[in-house]
Amino acid sequence: MIEARDRLSQNNYDLMILDFVMPFRAGDSPQTESTVHLLTELRDRKRLRKPAHIIGLTAYQEGVDALQPIFSQQTWTIVRYSEAETDWSDQIKAGLAWIASAAQKPEERTFSIDACIITALPYPEYDAVLRNGWTWGPAEPLDDTAFIRYGEFICAGSTYKVASAHSPKMGMIPASLLSAKLIQKLRPRILAIAGICAGIKGRGNYGDPIVADPCWDWQSGKHIVKDGAQEFEIRPDPLPIMQEVRVRWEQLKGDRQFWSDLRAEWPDAPDTELRLRLGPSVSGSSVLADAAIVERIKAQHGGVVSVEMEAYGVFSATAAAPRPRPLTFSCKSVCDLADEKKDDRWQTYAAFTSARSVTAYLERYMSELADLLG
């Protein structure tokens, strides 16, 4: 009994099989009083760790008579031992199986990869991601309709795993479907969409990365007729980025040397300063080259800084995903101003600054964000 008490003071047990007749200490004669003493200590002394289940085992009626009241009070089980039969061992096996089954917890969903980067276009957007300086593996199937590439990067001395993919076509729906697949199958800590967007004249220059916060569908609403005229009632559902994500973008925004050096890497950059901007961005289902529509979008929110076609779909997929949900952001760079002068001149440069901005963000802050997410 002394040895059993010592073990119970140091260890946790799911099951204790207790002989009703045992010695108080090694060398003593077996007696029921030893078992009664141990059970009394278990009940009254906090230093002993109570087993989750107790099965009493005895071949003697005197043991049953002495301990039946205690076991009945605690709804514990008594098993009668017999050398001639096996029922007693079958009872214990059944009890062990029950305990093992009850101890099995449902598989907990956890993050399985550190980051996923997606784009809408294979070129120039996805191509710029693959040229970001990391080592990327070959394309491999995610499922029957999507391919991904795996890579690694270093942050704060640790290696992190990343996957990348591009949508089959532009638009919120394809981006949302791809995001949902990646979240379900890879469970990333970070989900980022990179690429190009249209800026708002006077609120950004060619190549400026735009971190959308919040983002909404500018075409979401209701078409009505009022006083004989057609009108559109905007009914947005803005989705913000998490504050943990935003504050680190603000830190990167303030690193003027980084942005100056990044601009200098491009051989034919525009003559404007490269700056990161955080602000409201809208998604729509069509490419814009109409200044009048841009004015209608600006009327929805006085601070809109960019227009594009996918981010709201990515944000929506994250919002609807089961836990654990990734921290999600969109960082797209300005390639035109969505007006009649729209052309492709700055698309490659914008894809470059977007991909490199996301790269720098993850290389600087992935360690901190991983610690926050667990």
Between the alpha carbon of residue 244 and those of residues 20, 152, 328, the distances in Å are: 59, 23, 11
Q: What percentage of the chain exceeds 90 in pLDDT?
A: 54
CB crowding 332-364: b at 16 or more within 10 Å, else e: bbbbbbbeeebeeebbbbbbbbbbbbbbbbbbb
Residue type, 208: D
Ranges of H-type helices in 214-310: 243-253, 256-265, 291-300
Tell me the pLDDT tens digit for each residue of 63-113: 667 767 776 776 677 777 777 777 778 888 887 888 787 766 666 678 999
Report the amino acid identity of residue 90: D
Question: Is the alpha carbon torsion for 17, 18, 19, 20 positive or negative?
Answer: negative
Sorted by where each starts, the structural domains of the chain and their CATH numbers stand as 2-103 (3.40.50), 113-373 (3.40.50.1580)
Residue 145 in this model has a pLDDT that exceeds 70: yes
pLDDT digits 0-9 by tens, 204-227:
999 999 999 999 888 777 777 777
pLDDT, one tens digit per residue, over 268-303 is 999 999 999 999 999 988 666 666 777 777 667 778
Taking the C-alpha atoms of 46, 50, 56 and 60 in order, what is their torsion angle to the nearest 10 degrees? -20
Cα separation values, 13 from 49, 50, 53, 58, Å: 8, 8, 8, 21
C-beta of residue 31 within 8 angstroms of C-beta of residue 24: yes
What backbone torsions phi and psi does residue 7 show, to the nearest 5 degrees?
-65, -40
* SS3 state at 294: helix
Give tens-digit pLDDT for 224-262. Answer: 777 777 777 778 889 999 999 999 999 999 999 999 999
Q: Of the ranges 58-62, 123-127, 129-133, 250-254, which one carries the lowest mean pLDDT score?
A: 58-62
The two three-digit tokens of residue 82, written as one number: 């017999």
> Tell me, what's the pLDDT at 291?
66
How many residues appear in the chain? 374
Say whether pLDDT at 318 is over 80.
yes
Q: What angle do CA 14, 16, 17 make, to 5 degrees?
A: 140
C-alpha–C-alpha distance, residues 303 and 321, integer Å: 29
Tell me the mean pLDDT in the region 340-351.
88
The answer to whether 239 and 216 are in contact (CB under 8 A) is yes
Contact 182, 206 (CB under 8 A): no
pTM score: 0.71
**Residue 340: pLDDT over 80:** no
Paired tokens of 266? 């491009």
**In whole angstroms, what is the distance from residue 21 CA to residue 175 CA?**
70
Q: At what angle do helices 32-44 and 61-74 cross, to 10 degrees?
A: 10
